[in-house]
Amino acid sequence: MANATNHVDAVSDQAALSVRLLASLRRKNKNLAFSPLSFHAMLSLLAAGASAAARDQIVAFLGPAGAEAHAALASKVASRVLVGAETRYSTSVWVEASLRLSPAFAAAAAATYKAEVRPAVFKDRPKKAAAEINQWVARNTGGLVKDILSKAKPLDPSTRLVLANTVRFRGNWQDAFSPDLTADGTFYVDADPGHAVRVPFMTGSRDHELLRIGVHPGFKVLCMPYRRRSSSSFAMYIYLPDARDGLPGLVRALGANPAKLLHHSVVPVEGFTVGKLKIPKFEVSVRMEARPILEGLGLDLPFLSSAEPFSEMLGPPAPPVALASMVHQCFLSVDEKGTVAAAATVADDEGCDWSDDPRVNFVADHPFLFFLMEEFTGVVLFAGQVVNPLLH
C-alpha cells in the first residue's frame, strides 16, 4: 500500500491530469463538464491489466507518483471517500461469457477497485449486452447518464471486454441561495459588450457575508462548500478571470502549476466579507469520444491492437485485446439549492496573494472554470467551464 507521501503525490498527479484534460477538451464557445475522477479510475484499472509497454505508458500518463500510488488512491476513493448518501462511485468489468478474466486482474479489479465482474453475451447478442451496460450506468447515475453506448453505434460481436465507471454527486450548499433573490442579469460571453446574454443570477444574502475567496494576479477563486452529511467534505471552486476574455490565460496559469493552484489552499482559511455575490444558474450535458483526445495527449498504445496492450486481462488462451473506444458522458446542474452531477466512462476493447480590501466582490458575469473537489483528499470529482449559461 502506498504511504502518505505517495498518496499526496497521486492527488497532485490527479490535479495535473484534471487540468490537462480540461485544456484538451475545452472549446472556445462551448460549455464543458467532465469527471477527472472517472477518467482516473478507468485509466488506473486499465493499467492493472495492461502488458508491459502499455502499462508503462498509462502509468506515465497518470503521473510520476507511480502505479501503486494511483491504485491506492482509486481504492481509497471507492472504499472511503465516495460512500455517503450524497455520492455514489461504481466500477464494473463486463467479460464475454465464453472467456475468463485472468486471476490476477480479476483479484485486482475486485479488491482494489471494488469492481463488479459480470458476464456478457457480446458474441451472440451484442445489443442485449449493450442494453444491460446502459441500464447499469443509468441506475448508478440516478438516471442522469442514459444510453452511453449509442444505439446508432452498437457494440461489435467481436467485443471481448467492457470496463465502466460511474461517479454521482448530489449536494446542497452549506448556505443556500434564496430563489426570491435570483434575478436576470447580463452575462458577457466574451470581451465584446455586444456579445452578451440575459441569464438568471443567484444572488448572495446575509448567509453569504463571509466566504473564502482567493484573490490572485489575474483571477479570483470562490469556495462554495456543500453541507456535510458524511466523513467526506465537498466544495465547488469557481475560478473567475479578471478579464472577460481571460479564460485561455487562466487555463495556462493552472497548467503551469496545478498542484498549487488546484488545491484548497488557493483560498484563505478565513472568509472575507463579501460585497456583491452573483453566480449564474447553469446546466451542462456533454457526451464525448475520448479516444482522440487521449491519443493527442500521447496515450496511444492502449488503442493499438498490434501492441496487444491488454494481454494480461484475460486468462489463457487469450485473444489479443485493445481498446476500440472510450466514451465519457457527464451531466452537471447548479441552482439555488446546490449541485447534481453524474458522469460515466466506458471503454471497450476492439501560492497566493490575499486582498487588502475588507470587502470582496465576486460577480461571475463572464466565462469561468469550476472544479468540484473533496476537501480532505483533494481529489477532483468534476470540472468544466461555463462560457454561456444559456447553452446546455
Angle at 387 between CA 215 and CA 149, to 5 degrees: 120
pLDDT score of 357:
53
Contact at 8 Å (CB) between 14 and 36? yes
Per residue in 130-162, pLDDT tens?
A: 999 999 999 999 999 999 998 656 688 888 899
Q: Which three cell numbers stand for residue 193?
A: 459588450
Most confident of 10-24, 301-315, 343-357: 10-24
Say if residue 5's pLDDT is above 60. Answer: no
- pLDDT band of residue 315 (cuts 50, 70, 90) is confident
pLDDT score of 157:
87
Per residue in 242-291, pLDDT tens?
A: 999 999 999 999 999 998 999 989 999 888 888 899 999 999 999 999 99
Q: Which three cell numbers stand for residue 247?
A: 479564460
Q: Which three cell numbers stand for residue 328?
A: 465519457
What percent of the chain lies above the pLDDT cut of 90?
74
Say if residue 350's pLDDT is above 70. Answer: no
Averaged over 87-94, what is the pLDDT?
A: 93
pLDDT score of 355:
46
Closest to 380 measured CA to CA, from 254, 215, 229? 254
pLDDT score of 152:
58
- pLDDT band of residue 220 (cuts 50, 70, 90) is very high
Q: What is the mean pLDDT of the chain?
A: 91
Query: Which CATH number is correct for 179-282+352-386, 1.20.1090.10, 1.10.10.10, 2.30.39.10, 1.10.760.10?
Result: 2.30.39.10
Say if residue 192's pLDDT is above 90. Answer: no
pLDDT score of 193:
83
Q: Domain 4-170+283-348 in CATH: superfamily?
A: Antithrombin, subunit I, domain 2 (3.30.497.10)
Say if residue 308's pLDDT is above 90. Answer: no
What percent of the chain lies above the pLDDT cut of 70?
95
pLDDT score of 305:
81
Residue 149 CA: distances (Å) to CA of 108, 238, 287, 289, 297: 25, 32, 11, 11, 24
Domains of the chain, by residue range, sit at 4-170+283-348, 179-282+352-386
